[in-house]
Each structure stands twice: as structure tokens, then as C-alpha cells.
Amino acid sequence: MRSYEAAVIGLGGMGSAILAHLAARGTHVVGLEQYGPAHALGASHGGSRIIRQAYYEHPAYVPLLLRAYELWDELQRRSGEHLLLRTGGLMVGAPESKVVSGALRSAREHGLVHQLLEASDLRRRFSVLRPLQHEVALYEEQAGLLFPEACVLAHLRWAVEAGAEARFGTQVRSWWETGRGVELELAGGERIQAEQLIVAAGAWLGKTARDAALPLRVERNVLHWFEPLAHREDFAADRFPVYLLEREGTPMLYGFPDLPGQGIKAAFHHSQEYTDLEHLARDVAAEEIAALKHALEGWAPDAVGRHLRSSVCMYTVTPDEHFVIGRHPTHPHVVLAGGFSGHGYKFCAVIGEAVAGLVVDGASPHAIDLFAPQRFVS
């Protein structure tokens, strides 16, 4: 039976970063992925992901984000690939909205450079936008987007170059603790042994983590791409920022510039459509496209030209929408990394570093107590 110091289940955005940082620390590590590299069946695809620092969700995320930016830049230099594009970002809503007030709180608490824009300022600066008269925006110059598939592949290449073993088309049937760590049985009947196991299985975390009793829900969300109707040059990444828009009566809307080969991507954040892996509907209904088009037309009408495509993405959501990172509540040789609740991708690089610290040093180099799995143990 083959033995390792660590095994990582799941090699998406998080798992690939964890594998890379463990290998870079000299750990004898294997990564196990049921699908292929950078696949589109989980939550690490879609061509683009927003990255931002003025974090409306909670100020405690900001130090992690500052480190994440450093690590993404390092990975970009190391790989020679284009992974991070700074476009600037807008958090838009009523002054008292969560997205504006929360982003402003984080910016002020951590001294982040930002600007507050009135609706008239927004219209002058970004002529294709149609903010309502009472809406304001926090503008953050450092915000932008990551190219998720390229990021996964860059982490995987770094991991393998540093000595990791990455196995694809490999499903883990079960695992159990032993006196030496954890033993895993793979779908083909093979067994391997690892001193420590890291479960970074995305929407499969609840199933793979076994008796952690995590209150996770899988939420189906849909991404949409459009060709601009007019003024295409004004939606280019050197003129148009990423954005989050909170308006009464509609789910939060987020979107991106017009990217070469992709078009303009926009989506609702949190559909409230909860499902399970066995019954996930991957087909997109015409009504879903129409609802997104209606919301986007009210914000940037010239963005909504020909519909190019739509794709389903899964969020793995915790009750408080904070992450799950830490030791398994009942299995000390197992580390959990998941429950990213639709806002985790931008953190992949720093979470890779944090989990590698847990595994190698017994403690994370970053403050991650907010994410402890034990908070769900009654």
C-alpha cells in the first residue's frame, strides 16, 4: 500500500492550491480528483471570478485578501500565465445597503484606498451605467478578476514541479482513521495511506467529510454571457470595472467587463435554489435567462445584446456564509476546507498557504478562527 504524508481530496480551486503549497513545503503529498484538471462540474470554472479587498461580508477577511493578492501575483510570475486582471470594482446600492455599508466598513477599518461615488459621479465616469438617483458606489481600484481555470492549472503545475502526485479520474470510495493516520479506499479498490487527509471536495464536502455533521446546503446558481448591444468599447476591461449591485426586489447582481472570447458575464449572487448533487439541473431555462436580462438592462442596458451562453455553478453554503477551514471535529488527522458559500474563489491561494500551515506546522499562519468547523458542533 502506497503511503504519503498527506492526501488531498478534490483538486479544484482550493484543492489545487493546497496541493501546491504542501508540495512547496516539502510534503510527500497526493491529490485525488474524481474528474479531470480544471473541469466545469463544480465551482472552479466560468472564465472569470471577482477579486476585491473592501469586503462587505466581514472585515476579518481583509488581511487574508491582502495576502491572497500577493500570492496570486507570485503565482502569475512563477507560471508566466495571465491569472489576475485589475479592472477596478464597484460596490453599488443604497447608502445603507449591505454591499455598500459593509464594503465601507472594511475599507475604513483596514485603511484601504477607495472612493465614494454618487449616482451622478457614476454616470459621468461610466456612461453605460444607469444607477438610480439614490444609489451610491464604493469604488476600489485594486479590484478585478481572476481567470479560474488558468489558476487551477497553474497551481497544479507548481504542485507537480514541487514533487506532488496529482491523480485524476480517481474517486475516493471511503476513508477511515488508523493508528498511523488515515486510510483511503479508491473506487477501483486500491488503498492508500496518509498521515493526514485534507478534504477540499467543494459541493461534495458534506458527503466526503462523513460524520462532521456540517450544515451545508448545495445552491444552484446560473452564469450568463452576452454580447454587448452597443458601445462595446465602453465595456472593455480597461474602461469597465467588475461590480456588485444590490437593489431592492431583486437578488444581488454581479458582473464583469467584456472579455475577449467570452463576452459580458453577469449573474445573480444566491438563487436560494437548494438542491443535491444527484438532482442538480444543469439545463438553463429561458425564464432564468430572461430574469437576468431584465435586471442587467436596468443597470447597463447596452450590455444586453445577443445571449451567448449560460452555465450552472454550485455554491456550498453554510448557515452564516462563512467558510469551513480547520480540523475535523472528531477526526484529528483530517482537515476540512469548504463551505465557501459563493465567495471563496479569490481566497484559494491564501487558503492553500493556511491549510499547508495547519498540516505541516500544526497551526495556520493566518487568522482563520472565524471558519472553525467546531462552531457547528452543538
- Structural domains in the chain, CATH included, are 2-45+149-213+320-376 (3.50.50.60), 91-146+217-317 (3.30.9.10)
pLDDT number for residue 164: 99
Q: What pLDDT shows up at residue 303?
A: 98
The whole-number pLDDT of residue 272 equals 93
- DSSP string of 157-201? HHHHHTT-EEEES--EEEEEEETTEEEEEETTS-EEEEEEEEE--
Extract the C-alpha cell encoding 329: 471535529
Residues 134-153, mean pLDDT to the nearest whole number: 99
What pLDDT was estimated at residue 157?
A: 99
Is the confidence at residue 161, as pLDDT, over 90?
Answer: yes
Closest CA to 269 of 204, 319, 313, 215: 313
Q: Give tens-digit pLDDT for 241-282.
A: 999 999 999 999 999 999 999 999 999 999 999 998 889 999
* Mean pLDDT within 56-68: 99
Mean pLDDT, rounded, of the chain: 97
The pLDDT tens digits of the residues spanning 295-352 come to 999 999 999 999 999 999 999 999 999 999 999 999 999 999 999 999 999 999 999 9
**The predicted structure's pLDDT at residue 278:** 86
Looking at residue 28, what is its pLDDT?
Answer: 99
316, β-bridge pairs? 218
According to DSSP, the residues that pair with 224 across neighbouring strands are: 266, 310
- Which grid cell sits at 308? 451567448
Q: Interior CA angle at 220 toward 215 and 223, to 5°?
A: 140
pLDDT level of residue 213 (50, 70, 90 thresholds): confident
Query: What pLDDT sits at residue 277?
Result: 87
Query: What is the chain's length?
Result: 378
Is 224 in contact with 265 (CB distance < 8 Å)? yes
Residue 99 confidence (pLDDT): 99
The grid cell for 352 is 492553500
60/82 Cα distance (integer angstroms): 28
Evaluate whether 246 touches 299 at the Cβ level (below 8 Å): no
Question: Of the candidates 228, 222, 218, 219, which has an alpha carbon nearest to the alpha carbon of residue 286?
Answer: 222
pLDDT at 377: 87
The whole-number average pLDDT for the span 220-240 is 98
Q: Is the pLDDT of residue 115 over 90?
A: yes
pLDDT of 165-197, one tens digit each? Answer: 999 999 999 999 998 899 999 999 999 999 999
Predicted structure pTM score: 0.97
Q: Check whether 143 has a pLDDT greater than 90.
A: yes
Average pLDDT over residues 106-134: 98
173 touches 186 (CB < 8 A): yes
- Grade residue 212 by pLDDT with cuts at 50, 70 and 90: confident
The yes-or-no verdict on residue 378 having pLDDT over 80 is no
Place 226 in a pLDDT band, splitting at 50, 70 and 90. very high
